[in-house]
Amino acid sequence: MKKLKKTGALLIAALMLLALSSCGKGADTTVTLTDMMGHEVTLDKPAERIVALSAADCEIVYALGAGDLLVGRGEWCDYPAEVFDVPSVESGGNTNVEQILLLKPDVLVMSSMAQTEEQVKQLEDAGVAVVVSDAKDIAGVYTSIELLGKLLGKDAEAAKIISDMKEGFAGIEANKLDGTKSVYFEVSPLEWGLWTAGKNTFMDEIATMMGLENCFGDLDGWAEISEEQVLARNPDYIVTITMYFGEGPTPVEEILSRPGWENVTAVRNQAILNLQNNELSRPAPRLADGAKMLYDFVIENAQALTPAA
């Protein structure tokens, strides 16, 4: 028994030495970062196998040019198309630790909403680092991109994406509208009850940035609203993010045909934009594209209307 203990102690000492020496050798590749929940995470080297649960983080991984390092994705990830070739795991409330461990990742990236302490502990005990990326505003998206860039050893790429986004936004902000026109964001169509985006959403932040007034800026976050209120607030533009599955009227046609809406300025001018691919609702690099699409749409419409006025 005593002998066994002694051997064990020796073995541990030897292992520790080995670990120390390997640490010493790879010191220059060590990655240390603080995630968006304030946890410090240290890795010996940039991650080579990563699982990302949120759709936004998957997009960022691809934007960084690191799509080949993605070994697993959350079930709702849908952009870019290559992401569908990556094995899908359950996410959100159904996050399944076993599924994730089976993919043998170095790192799991998830949002704060989905995780429980037990799950994080199980993952960390199995040697998987857990990093929280959870952007609530555009500044947060920059942090997410920076974080993932560091994690994957793609700092330069991350800096490039961020500067491109900033440039895009700056271009819009420099020529911003006068704040007299209003926009109504429709998140869920009438058939299922109208939902809109109030303040503290990406849509509201981007509308404000380009000098458009959000009709429902007095509400906080996502909200179900009365149909009558849209009519009373009479938006100049409508942005709907309803998906179209190729049957029945398109989301734009459906809004144009709603009884009682014919006097809404946006409907009268047919100023309705359908953004189907989460350009304005997902904390990912494409937010800048979505902002540009909305801005161009507003400018085009304004120009089309000027001669008539």
Partner 1 sequence: MKRIGEQFDGWIYAVFALVTLCVFFACVCLGSVPIPLRDTVQVVHDAVRGVPSGAALSLARSVVVPIRLPRVLCVALVGASLSLAGAAMQGLLKNPLADGSTLGVSSGASLGAVLAIAFGITFPRLPFAGTMVMAILFALLSLLIILSLSYRLDGSLSTSTIILIGVIFSMFASSVMSIVITFASDRLRSITFWTMGSLQGSSYRNAAILAATLAVSGTVLLLHARELNAFAIGDDNARQIGVNVRRVRLTVLVMVSCLVGVCVSIGGTIGFVGLVTPHMVRLVVGPNHKRLLPASLFSGAVFLMLADLAARTLFSPRELPLGVVTSMVGAAMFVAIYYRSRWR
Binding stretches for partner 1 (CB under 8 A): 188, 190-194, 216, 218-219, 223-229, 231-232, 234, 243, 245, 248, 258-263
Q: Which long-range contacts (CB under 8 A, 24 or more apart) does 5-11 make?
A: none
CB of 33 vs partner 1, minimal distance in Å: 35
Nearest to 140 by CA among 47, 56, 39: 56
Cα maximum dimension of the chain: 97
CB of 84 to partner 1, least distance (A): 11
Q: What span, in angstroms and rounded, lies between the C-alpha atoms of 274 and 277?
A: 9
* DSSP-derived 3-state class of residue 302: helix
Q: How far is the CB of 187 from partner 1 (least distance, A)?
A: 11
Q: Which two tokens stand for residue 263?
A: 């006097």
Cβ closest to partner 1, residue 122 vs residue 188: 188
- The Cβ-side half-sphere exposure at 65, using a 13 Å CA radius, reads 9
Q: Which is nearer to partner 1, 188 or 269 (CB)?
A: 188
Q: Which CB sits closer to partner 1, 30 or 270?
A: 270
Closest CB 259 distance from partner 1, rounded Å: 4
Q: Tokens 């960390």 belong to which residue?
A: 124
Distance CA 169, CA 137 (A): 13
Quote the least distance from Cβ 194 to partner 1, whole Å.
6
Q: By C-beta, is 156 or 245 nearer to partner 1?
A: 245
Supply the minimum distance, in Å, between the C-beta of residue 99 and partner 1.
Answer: 15
Nearer to partner 1 by Cβ, of 180 and 263: the residue is: 263
What is the residue type of 244?
Y
Rounded CA-CA distance 24/17 in Å is 10
Nearer Cβ to partner 1 (105/251) = 251
